[in-house]
């Protein structure tokens, strides 16, 4: 069954035409998306696009100006009616961990469980420390833990009251790249094992793709596309998403038919049909992995930039002033600046937009 045909009760979170902001002004508007139970969603976009603002509205810290937020089919935010944060059953994990420094790890995790008997609380804390693999550090203090360990404590503390939804606000941004990648996969595993839904805020596309089932790409307070990572990459809704998600750039071309474009890189054909008239001027998206090295090719663009990245090298090629593009080759294919290299386009997914100016 397609997602849009799902009955309303299967959505965990529904955001409809949301507008909210500060001092009566909206900094985000017309935001609509829905998350099904157990899924991890993401708000992805450049700095200042409104990710944290939407997260604050979901948490109940910010009233909304129009639209509605529903959690488990229950309205939690309407203009003039905001269910208090503590009544939403939503947990939060922040970038700076926000652990209590004078409490042990076990006490931090058990902080929100005051309604439980002592023995029951201890059992629950042990279970959660087990889930985040920190049983051995129960009696340590936060400053004795690494950043990654502290973030797992923060997650365990947020999970303790058994929330319906967890909000993760740039939770890995204080960590180095390697730990970031490992911890994001760890957190995904933990949430999936427990069947807990989450919304992650990040401006790191790799993190969004590795961790999330659905991603919202935002620009200047407006939702550009809400989709699975694969579609964002292969079927971006507009130029902004095409550029923001993944690497690559546009080259000029002319439509020959619904699925064929003539360009300086030759005829580019794909599996996606457009409604263009033959002769329409378009911009075609070329990703670095769309270009392959082919010694028999007559197309021989010039290397104008080269970035060595260990197992691969990113090249920037120029055919003419209007047509430049990038290609990623295994690093044993070593070309020098100014060299003319035989290449060919091998793109399954033809992504192009009609030229507007
Ligand atoms: N408390 C506030 N009062 C007034 N304006 C604010 C407030 N917080 C954020 N803004 C403005 O709202 C807009 C969106 O900010 P927001 O923090 O939601 O962006 P973001 O996408 O989370 O950015 P970043 O990735 O840098 O954290 C920005 O223009 C910002 O200046």
Residues 29 and 176 in one domain: yes
Give the residue carrying structure tokens 């229950």. 74
Final residue in a domain of this structure, among 196, 217, 241: 241
**Residues 73 and 172 grouped into a single domain:** yes
Distance in Å, CA 246 to ligand 1 centroid: 24
Give the domain extent around 309.
248-354
Nearest Cα residue to atom 3 of ligand 1:
22
The tens digit of pLDDT for each residue in 174-200 reads 778 888 888 889 889 989 988 999 999
- Count Cβ atoms below 10 Å from residue 265 Cβ, excluding itself: 23
Rounded to the nearest angstrom, the distance between the alpha carbon of 221 and the centre of ligand 1 is 10
User: Based on the domain organization, do 64 and 174 belong to the same domain?
Assistant: yes
Asked whether residue 349 is assigned to any structural domain, the reply reads yes
pLDDT single digits (tens) 201-247: 998 898 999 999 999 999 999 999 999 999 999 889 999 999 898 88
* Shortest-distance atom of ligand 1 to CA 45: 21
- Are both 214 and 169 inside the same structural domain? yes
- Tell me, yes or no, whether 253 lies in a domain: yes
pTM of the prediction?
0.87
Same-domain pairing of 55 and 35: yes
Count of the separate structural domains present in the chain: 2
Among the three residues 241, 257, 275, which one is the final residue of a domain in this structure?
A: 241
Residues 84 and 199 in one domain: yes
In this prediction, residue 10 carries a pLDDT of 77
Q: If you measure from the C-alpha of residue 48 to the centroid of ligand 1, how many angstroms do you get, rounded to a whole number?
A: 5
150 assigned to some structural domain:
no
Q: Say whether both 212 and 286 belong to one domain.
A: no
Looking at residue 8, what is its pLDDT? Answer: 55
Strand order in the sheet with 260-263: 266-269, 260-263, 249-257, 281-286, 352-354
Measured in Å, residue 27 CA sits from the centre of ligand 1 at: 8
Read off the pLDDT of each residue in 7-32 and give the average, rounded to a whole number.
Answer: 90
Same domain, 192 and 256: no
85 Cα: distance to centroid of ligand 1 (angstroms):
20
Q: What is the CATH number of the domain that holds 285?
A: 2.40.50.140
- Ligand 1: which residues within 6 Å by Cβ? 22, 27, 45, 47-53, 203
Q: What is the distance between the alpha carbons of residues 218 and 332, in angstroms, rounded to a whole number? A: 38
Query: Considering only CA atoms, which of 129, 130, 102, 126 is closest in space to residue 116?
Result: 126
pLDDT tens-digit readout, 96-115: 778 999 999 999 999 988 88
Are 275 and 334 contained in the same domain? Answer: yes
- Shared domain for 269 and 342, answered yes or no, is yes
Asked if the structure places residue 151 within a domain, the reply is no
Question: Which atom, in ligand 1's list, is nearest to the CA of 56?
Answer: 18
CB 248 within 8 A of CB 318: no
* 228, 313: one domain: no
% of the chain residues with pLDDT over 90: 67
CATH number at residue 189: 3.40.50.300
Q: Is the pLDDT of residue 1 over 50?
A: no
Same-domain check for residues 178 and 272: no
> Dihedral of the CA atoms 273, 276, 279, 285 (nearest 10)?
-60
Question: Of all atoms in ligand 1, which is nearest to the CA of residue 53?
Answer: 18
Among the candidates 215, 241, 267, a domain finishes at 241
Does the residue 146 lie in any domain? no
Structure token pair of residue 322:
């209007």
pLDDT digits (tens, 9 = 90+) for 49-75: 999 999 999 999 999 999 999 999 999
CA distance 43 to 128: 27
Q: With 70 as the cut, is the pLDDT of residue 325 above it? A: yes
pLDDT given for residue 7 in this prediction? 56
Is 157 part of any domain?
no
């Amino acid at each position: 069954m397609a997602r849009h045909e799902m009955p309303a009760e299967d959505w965990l979170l529904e955001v409809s035409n949301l507008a909210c902001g500060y001092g009566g002004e909206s900094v985000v508007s017309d935001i609509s998306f829905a998350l099904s139970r157990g899924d991890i969603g993401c708000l992805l976009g450049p700095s200042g696009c409104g990710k944290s603002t939407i997260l604050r509205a979901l948490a109940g810290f910010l009233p909304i100006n129009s639209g509605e937020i529903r959690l488990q089919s229950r309205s939690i935010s309407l203009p003039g009616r905001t269910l208090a944060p503590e009544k939403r059953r939503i947990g939060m994990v922040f970038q700076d961990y926000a652990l209590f420094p004078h409490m042990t790890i076990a006490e931090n995790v058990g902080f929100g469980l005051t309604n439980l008997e002592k023995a029951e609380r201890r059992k629950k804390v042990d279970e959660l420390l087990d889930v985040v693999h920190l049983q051995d550090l129960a009696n340590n203090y936060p400053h004795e833990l690494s950043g990654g360990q502290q973030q797992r404590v923060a997650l365990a503390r947020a999970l303790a009251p058994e929330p319906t939804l967890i909000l993760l606000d740039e939770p890995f941004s204080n960590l180095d790249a390697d730990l970031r990648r490992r911890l994001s996969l760890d957190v995904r595993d933990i949430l999936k094992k427990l069947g807990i839904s989450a919304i992650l805020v990040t401006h790191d596309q790799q993190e969004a793709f590795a961790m999330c089932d659905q991603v919202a790409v935002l620009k200047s307070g407006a939702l550009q596309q809400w989709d699975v990572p694969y579609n964002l990459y292969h079927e971006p809704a507009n130029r902004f998403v095409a550029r923001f998600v993944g690497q690559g750039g546009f080259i000029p071309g002319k439509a020959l038919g619904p699925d064929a474009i003539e360009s300086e890189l030759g005829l580019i054909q794909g599996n996606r049909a457009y409604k263009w008239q033959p002769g329409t001027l378009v911009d075609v998206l070329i990703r670095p992995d769309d270009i392959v090295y082919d010694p028999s090719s007559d197309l021989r663009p010039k290397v104008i930039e080269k970035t060595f990245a260990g197992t691969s090298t990113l090249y920037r090629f120029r055919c003419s002033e209007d047509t430049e593009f990038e290609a990623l080759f295994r690093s044993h294919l070593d070309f020098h600046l100014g060299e003319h290299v035989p290449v060919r386009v091998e793109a399954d997914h033809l992504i192009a937009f009609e030229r507007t100016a």
